[in-house]
Structure 1
Amino acid sequence: MKVIVADNDKLKLTLEGVAVGALTGVVVSVFRWSIGQLLTIFQGAYVAARKNIIIVLALFVLLVAVGLIVAGLLKKEPNISGSGIPQVEAQLAGEMEMSWWSILWTKFVGGILSIGPGLFLGREGPSIQLGSAIGQGFSEVTKETGVFRRVLIASGAAGGLAAAFNAPIAGAMFVLEEIYHNFSPLVWVTSLASAVSANFIALYVFGLTPVLDITHKQSLPIGLYWHLILLGIVLGLMGRLYQKVLLIMPSWYAKTRIPRYLQGLIPILLILPIGMMFPQFIGGGNSIITSLNSWGTSLWFLIGLLVLRFIYSMISYGSGLPGGIFLPILNLGAIIGAIYAVFMHNMGLLPLGFESDLIIFSMAGYFACIGKAPFTAIILVTEMVGSLSHLMPLAVLSLVAYVVVDILNGAPIYESLKERLNIDSDYLNRVSKLNDRLEMPIFEGSSIDGKYIRDIPFPKDILIIAIYRGESQIIPKGDTVIKAGDRIVMMVNAAKRVKMRDRINRLINGMD
């Protein structure tokens, strides 16, 4: 028996997604503007400090004060540490719960104070967590629970990324590919509505100019595509190195025996000499990306810039300060692309006119292999540079870099970071008597494709309540045949949601 799904819930969530996106757009735009203004002020102060010891001392005292304020926020609310994306993933997976208001204001203040002085941190991760907190708060006001509440949290995350980078399609795709891990129509429609709404606000505030307005003279000819293979291998190797170093940084910081919430003082104080020596190279790196192709053909200069950005990015993020790695990853990818272009030009194998192209391609490739989210990477860079002419080379380079990291057993960086979170066992105990909804897609080639439900060894702790096939809902019976493209909806114990999801994933993929 088939029953057509009513559109009421989808329409309601879409409208709520628009509202969540508008609120997120306002908050993230203020957040983004504040960081930009504060960075400009600090850059000027670092330059002035070169000739005045009084300014140096004043900046030192100010940075210590900033560090202590952020430390106080981290001690009060440890879940604002880092980008916030792993925390959002854990919350949507049912592994932890957070106080939306506490996250919202502490992440907002802590993010501005951590990123504004020029640390090599990005605004996008905090923007995603800010958006998710707004989505959670909105769901409490509207009294949405269960799956609807999770969808609003996810839609807020999409709006956060969209407003941070003026990239609404990438915002929705990131939620589907990296955070929610589910292409449910409820999720993508609501996330897209939120992302578009948030981006509209950001465009009104910051204008229509692409975030990365990179001038490129011509498209890469097919005859030079072999460079994408070589560059993809380089990016994959560098991406795996990035993953390993980033994940080991907290253990290195632990050796200092400084309390975790105070470890941010190290990069905050280090920014003073770095800012005085290289004021134009501090911050998330947006301006560096747009000016890379105007700095000539000095290979050693570019290598030095890469070393500086790589090492201090690790020091900044590894300390646990509220800040992301999205933009720093794109920045490092762009520099690697520039190094490759200049090296090949010096070897007589590539005209320098294609440097801008390789800078653009490398941003996508580096993020694709580190985050293991190639579709998000391709769409994000396309939206950020404001051009559709690079889709094919972006796809080729991203695929090669992704495969290299896959061969080297690299896991998605945000998933790896999530596994290192301190999961609240008390929360899991509190929800152990509650049921929750779990929705799993059946992909082409699944081991249960074409089988009757009665012949599939589903865990005893689940109850299949519906099967969605396109826009239709099927009431499940023992003789119902599972087909590729179906979405199976189950009721599970809320405390076992993650465990059941992993078991069913293995069952669907033929690993059990």
Structure 2
Amino acid sequence: MSDAGTAKSSAGRTVLVLGILAVVAGIIVGFLGGAFRWLLVEAAAWREHLSEWAHGVPLGWLLVVAFGVAGAVFAAALVKLSPRASGSGIQDVEAVYRNQLTIPPLSVVPTRFVGGLASIGSGMVLGREGPTVHMGAALGVGVGRAARLRDEDVRTLSTAMSGAGLAVAFNAPVGGSVFVLEEVAKSASYRLIVPTVLGVGAAIACARLVIGDSPDFAVHDIPVPPLGTLPMFLVFGVLLGLAGALYNVLVMSLMRLNRRMTRFSPIARAGVVGAVIGAVLYIDPLAVGGGDSLTQLLLAGQAFAVPVLVLYLTVRFLMGPLSYSAATPGGLFAPMLALGAIAGTLFGQFVQVFDPSLGTDFVIAMAIVGMSTLFAAVVRSPLTGVALIVEMTAITTVTVPMLVAAGAAVVTAMLVKSPPVYDSLREFMLQGMAPRSPGSIRP
């Protein structure tokens, strides 16, 4: 056999091994991520009951504030024991893929799981995808090392399983797969594609045994928006491109401020953020948490007064970066989707003033587009955003407006020189760590 034939045969065997191991890791990620999601749903329901109950007892507000503080403090204490479990985890996965950072220890898995339940479950405006992405990547490392893979192959399997974690977080297998190629690796090869799709498929199949196989959001059939409204989606994309740039500035500014506040311990700083979240939780549970409940109401056509929507938009726009600055386990994706839905609803209602014939379905379509567009502006991964929202809503009739708005948002963010948020967060994370010698990815 020629050298070229030998190389192809070796590459094929590597892809086969990675694919088999990805299925094994995917099964673990699916059940673990599914359990994580199920517990978060239960925590959100309990949190709403707590807020309602507190309004009927003396000093009930104090109990809700204490609940917020306890969740944030407990999560921050866990992060102190396992520092790699702080924040989203996506930037950590990207740094490992680029060999800028050693692989995470398996201790991040229980810390992410329990810490994520504490921080997100207590009402912090954080996303479930950060913990599941990082848990998936760490479990991929564990399986790869157990199989005695080379460091390069361990890194590949870790990257592939990060997509399984994202897929489970949003019940979106295509979105999770595209995320690996567009956001983490920013490249594609069969060596990465095959374990990604096999791992994602196994993870989603197992997760759906826990969380069900329905889309995350129930949306009735939405007709294709009139062709003449496309310019409106283009304008909306530009506005969300500017909003995304501002959101990134706010996230990074609060992260830097938190790092400079060395007079106070990280646990104390997290407690202050938890107290703020608890106070907002007492006033209105829809204003805190990942935002799925609010998003569902908007996508179902629930009517909200414009001042109320503006208030939700303002509060969640501030609470998301503030929650993230506490450095407890939790991501940025899910809160951004809620923000995009609110912004889309507001913009759709504004357009309706000039053309009342568009109806409620147009407003819902704009909300759906807002979810993918703000994601594209902040993360700079438009295809991932579109794929995620199509799968989460099971709506394909607004795909063209989604693409138009996402393209406009990305160009706008680039023109105002707003870097992708995870690039900024990765640089910020690496700046705060001790330098290491390049080469091995082993801890």
TM-score, with length taken from structure 2? 0.93
Considering fraction of residues, name the structure with more helix.
Answer: 2
| Aligned twin of 1:277 | 283
CA–CA distance in structure 2, aligned partners of residues 217 and 63 of structure 1 = 38
Question: For the Cα contact (< 8 Å) 1:370–1:413, is it kept in 2?
Answer: yes
User: For residues 263 and 48 of structure 1, do their structure 2 counterparts lie closer, same or farther at Cα, with a shift above 3 Å needed?
Assistant: same
Name the structure, 1 or 2, with higher relative contact order (CA <8 Å, separation 6+): 2
CA–CA distance in structure 1, aligned partners of residues 173 and 435 of structure 2 = 33
How far is 1:62 from its partner? Answer: 4.3
More off after superposition, 386-395 vs 35-44:
386-395
How far is 1:387 from its partner? Answer: 2.7
Q: For residue 183 of structure 1, what is the amino acid of its counterpart? A: A
How far is 1:217 from its partner? Answer: 3.5
CA–CA distance in structure 2, aligned partners of residues 176 and 377 of structure 1 = 13
CA–CA distance in structure 2, aligned partners of residues 366 and 61 of structure 1 = 33
CA–CA distance in structure 2, aligned partners of residues 80 and 268 of structure 1 = 18
CA–CA distance in structure 2, aligned partners of residues 190 and 262 of structure 1 = 42
How far is 1:58 from its partner? Answer: 4.1
CA–CA distance in structure 2, aligned partners of residues 386 and 295 of structure 1 = 19
What's the C-alpha RMSD, in Å, of the aligned pairs?
2.1
1:36 to 32, 38, 41: 41
2:310 to 279, 303, 313: 303
> Alpha-carbon deviations, 1:71-109, whole Å to 9, x = none?
221211121111111111111111111443211111111
Residues 1:228 and 2:233 aligned together: yes
Question: For the Cα contact (< 8 Å) 2:51–2:282, is it kept in 1?
Answer: yes
| Aligned twin of 2:429 | 421
Residues 1:217 and 2:204 aligned together: no
How far is 1:131 from its partner? Answer: 0.4
How far is 1:260 from its partner? Answer: 3.0
How far is 1:326 from its partner? Answer: 0.3
| Aligned twin of 2:121 | 116
SS in 1 for 2:375: helix
Q: For residue 414 of structure 1, what is the amino acid of its counterpart? A: Y
2:295 to 289, 292, 317: 289
How far is 1:348 from its partner? Answer: 3.1
Question: For the Cα contact (< 8 Å) 1:96–1:423, is it kept in 2?
Answer: no
| Aligned twin of 1:399 | 407
SS in 1 for 2:99: coil
CA–CA distance in structure 1, aligned partners of residues 304 and 120 of structure 2 = 30
CA–CA distance in structure 2, aligned partners of residues 61 and 332 of structure 1 = 26
Q: Identity of paired residues, percent?
A: 28
SS in 1 for 2:430: coil
- Trace 1:4-15 onto structure 2 (pairs within 5 A): 4=5, 5-6=8-9, 7-15=12-20
CA–CA distance in structure 2, aligned partners of residues 212 and 279 of structure 1 = 19
> Alpha-carbon deviations, 1:135-162, whole Å to 9, x = none?
0111111111222101110121011011
SS in 2 for 1:82: coil
How far is 1:118 from its partner? Answer: 1.5
CA–CA distance in structure 1, aligned partners of residues 142 and 237 of structure 2 = 42
1:25 to 16, 30, 44: 30
More off after superposition, 304-313 vs 211-220:
211-220
CA–CA distance in structure 2, aligned partners of residues 279 and 226 of structure 1 = 35
CA–CA distance in structure 1, aligned partners of residues 67 and 229 of structure 2 = 51
| Aligned twin of 1:265 | 271
- Trace 1:156-195 onto structure 2 (pairs within 5 A): 156-195=161-200
User: For residues 57 and 426 of structure 1, do their structure 2 counterparts lie closer, same or farther at Cα, with a shift above 3 Å needed?
Assistant: closer
Question: For the Cα contact (< 8 Å) 1:21–1:155, is it kept in 2?
Answer: no
TM-score, with length taken from structure 1? 0.81
Q: For residue 49 of structure 2, what is the amino acid of its counterpart? A: G
Question: For the Cα contact (< 8 Å) 1:46–1:272, is it kept in 2?
Answer: no
Residues 1:238 and 2:243 aligned together: yes
> Alpha-carbon deviations, 1:169-203, whole Å to 9, x = none?
11111111111222121111111111111111122
How far is 1:2 from its partner? Answer: 7.3
| Aligned twin of 2:393 | 385
User: For residues 275 and 78 of structure 1, do their structure 2 counterparts lie closer, same or farther at Cα, with a shift above 3 Å needed?
Assistant: same
> Alpha-carbon deviations, 1:191-232, whole Å to 9, x = none?
111111111112222222101222243110112111111111
Residues 1:47 and 2:52 aligned together: yes
CA–CA distance in structure 2, aligned partners of residues 409 and 350 of structure 1 = 38
How far is 1:425 from its partner? Answer: 7.2
More off after superposition, 108-117 vs 260-269:
260-269
CA–CA distance in structure 2, aligned partners of residues 322 and 230 of structure 1 = 35
Question: For the Cα contact (< 8 Å) 2:70–2:274, is it kept in 1?
Answer: no
- Trace 1:312-331 onto structure 2 (pairs within 5 A): 312-331=319-338
Considering fraction of residues, name the structure with more strand.
Answer: 1
- Trace 1:76-115 onto structure 2 (pairs within 5 A): 76-115=81-120
CA–CA distance in structure 1, aligned partners of residues 348 and 322 of structure 2 = 28
SS in 1 for 2:317: helix
Question: For the Cα contact (< 8 Å) 1:31–1:112, is it kept in 2?
Answer: yes
How far is 1:250 from its partner? Answer: 1.7
How far is 1:428 from its partner? Answer: 2.8
More off after superposition, 330-339 vs 209-218:
209-218
| Aligned twin of 1:141 | 146
Question: For the Cα contact (< 8 Å) 1:344–1:350, is it kept in 2?
Answer: no
More off after superposition, 253-262 vs 120-129:
253-262
Q: For residue 270 of structure 2, what is the amino acid of its counterpart? A: G
| Aligned twin of 1:252 | 257
How far is 1:252 from its partner? Answer: 2.8
> Alpha-carbon deviations, 1:396-419, whole Å to 9, x = none?
111111111111112111111000
SS in 2 for 1:272: helix
CA–CA distance in structure 2, aligned partners of residues 415 and 36 of structure 1 = 30
- Trace 1:362-373 onto structure 2 (pairs within 5 A): 362-373=370-381
| Aligned twin of 1:449 | none
CA–CA distance in structure 2, aligned partners of residues 78 and 297 of structure 1 = 41
Question: For the Cα contact (< 8 Å) 2:225–2:365, is it kept in 1?
Answer: yes
Question: For the Cα contact (< 8 Å) 1:163–1:201, is it kept in 2?
Answer: no
CA–CA distance in structure 2, aligned partners of residues 390 and 89 of structure 1 = 31
Question: For the Cα contact (< 8 Å) 1:95–1:423, is it kept in 2?
Answer: no
* Rg larger in structure: 1
User: For residues 401 and 38 of structure 1, do their structure 2 counterparts lie closer, same or farther at Cα, with a shift above 3 Å needed?
Assistant: same
User: For residues 64 and 405 of structure 1, do their structure 2 counterparts lie closer, same or farther at Cα, with a shift above 3 Å needed?
Assistant: closer
- Trace 1:421-500 onto structure 2 (pairs within 5 A): 421-422=429-430, 428-429=436-437, 431=438
CA–CA distance in structure 2, aligned partners of residues 216 and 305 of structure 1 = 26
| Aligned twin of 2:4 | 3
Q: For residue 97 of structure 1, what is the amino acid of its counterpart? A: T
SS in 1 for 2:4: strand
Question: For the Cα contact (< 8 Å) 1:124–1:161, is it kept in 2?
Answer: yes
Q: For residue 38 of structure 1, what is the amino acid of its counterpart? A: A
Question: For the Cα contact (< 8 Å) 2:221–2:395, is it kept in 1?
Answer: no
